[in-house]
Amino acid sequence: MLRKSLNLCLLIAVAVSVAVSVGAQQAPKLPKLVDLGSTTCIPCKQMAPILEELKTELAGKIDVEFVNVNTQPALTDKYRIEVIPTQVFLDASGKELFRHEGFYAKAAILAKWTELGFNVATAAPASFSRWTAAQPDARAKDAVCYMCDGDVNPKSAVVVKTAKGDVHLCSPHCLSIMLSSLTTDRAEVEQQAFVTDFATGQSVPLQAASYLYSFDEQTGRPSVMVFASRDAALAARRDNGGSVLTYPLLKNKEMASRCGFCDRAVYPEDAAVVKAGGVYTYGCCSHCALGVAARTGASVEIHERDRLTGEPIIVKTLEGQIASLEPATAVAWYGQRTKPDGKRVSAGCFHQGFFVSAENLQKWVEAHPLETGEMISIAKALADKMALSPEQISKACKIGECAPK
170 binds Zn ion (CB under 5 A): yes
Residue type, 370: L
145 binds Zn ion (CB under 5 A): yes
Is 31 or 348 the residue whose CB approaches Zn ion more closely? 348
Among residues 50, 288, 318, 361, the one that binds Zn ion under rule CB under 5 A: 288
Asked if 196 and 156 touch (Cβ cutoff 8 Å), the reply is yes
- Rounded to an integer, what distance in angstroms lies between the CA atom of residue 396 and that of residue 367? 28
Q: Which of 198, 334, 173 is nearest to 254 (CA)?
A: 173
Would you tell me the crossing angle of helices 106-115 and 42-57 to the nearest 10 degrees? 60
State the DSSP H helix or E strand holding residue 288, giving kind and residue range, or none if neither: helix 286-296
160 binds Zn ion (CB under 5 A): no
159 binds Zn ion (CB under 5 A): no
Residues 219-278 that bind Zn ion (CB under 5 A): 259, 261-262, 264
- Rounded to an integer, what distance in angstroms lies between the CA atom of residue 385 and that of residue 60? 35
147 binds Zn ion (CB under 5 A): yes
178 binds Zn ion (CB under 5 A): no
Return the range that interacts with Zn ion (CB under 5 A); candidates 78-86, 101-109, 117-125, 138-146. 138-146
Rg (CA), the chain: 27
The footprint of Zn ion on this chain (CB under 5 A) covers a number of residues equal to 12
Is 153 or 252 the residue whose CB approaches Zn ion more closely? 153
Pseudo-torsion of CA 94, 98, 101, 105, nearest 10°?
Answer: -100
Return the range that interacts with Zn ion (CB under 5 A); candidates 114-122, 150-158, 202-210, 221-229. 150-158
381 binds Zn ion (CB under 5 A): no
Is 81 or 294 the residue whose CB approaches Zn ion more closely? 294
- Rounded to an integer, what distance in angstroms lies between the CA atom of residue 376 and that of residue 353? 11
Query: Residue 385 CB, nearest distance to Zn ion (Å)?
Result: 11
148 binds Zn ion (CB under 5 A): yes
Query: Residue 250 CB, nearest distance to Zn ion (Å)?
Result: 16
* 57 Rama sector, left if φ>0, alpha if ψ -120 to 50, beta otherwise: alpha
209 binds Zn ion (CB under 5 A): no
Pseudo-torsion of CA 186, 193, 162, 180, nearest 10°?
Answer: 30
158 binds Zn ion (CB under 5 A): no
Q: Which of 221, 195, 199 is nearest to 209 (CA)?
A: 195
Return the range that interacts with Zn ion (CB under 5 A); candidates 61-69, 117-125, 287-295, 340-348. 287-295
Return the range that interacts with Zn ion (CB under 5 A); candidates 68-76, 86-94, 170-178, 250-258. 170-178
Return the range that interacts with Zn ion (CB under 5 A); candidates 39-47, 135-143, 148-156, 336-344. 148-156
Provide the CA 360 distance to its chain's centre, in angstroms: 16
What residues contact 207, with CB distance under 8 A and at least 6 apart?
Answer: 190, 191, 247
Asked if 294 and 393 touch (Cβ cutoff 8 Å), the reply is yes
Is 349 or 376 the residue whose CB approaches Zn ion more closely? 349
Interacting residues with Zn ion (CB under 5 A): 145, 147-148, 150, 170, 174, 259, 261-262, 264, 284, 288
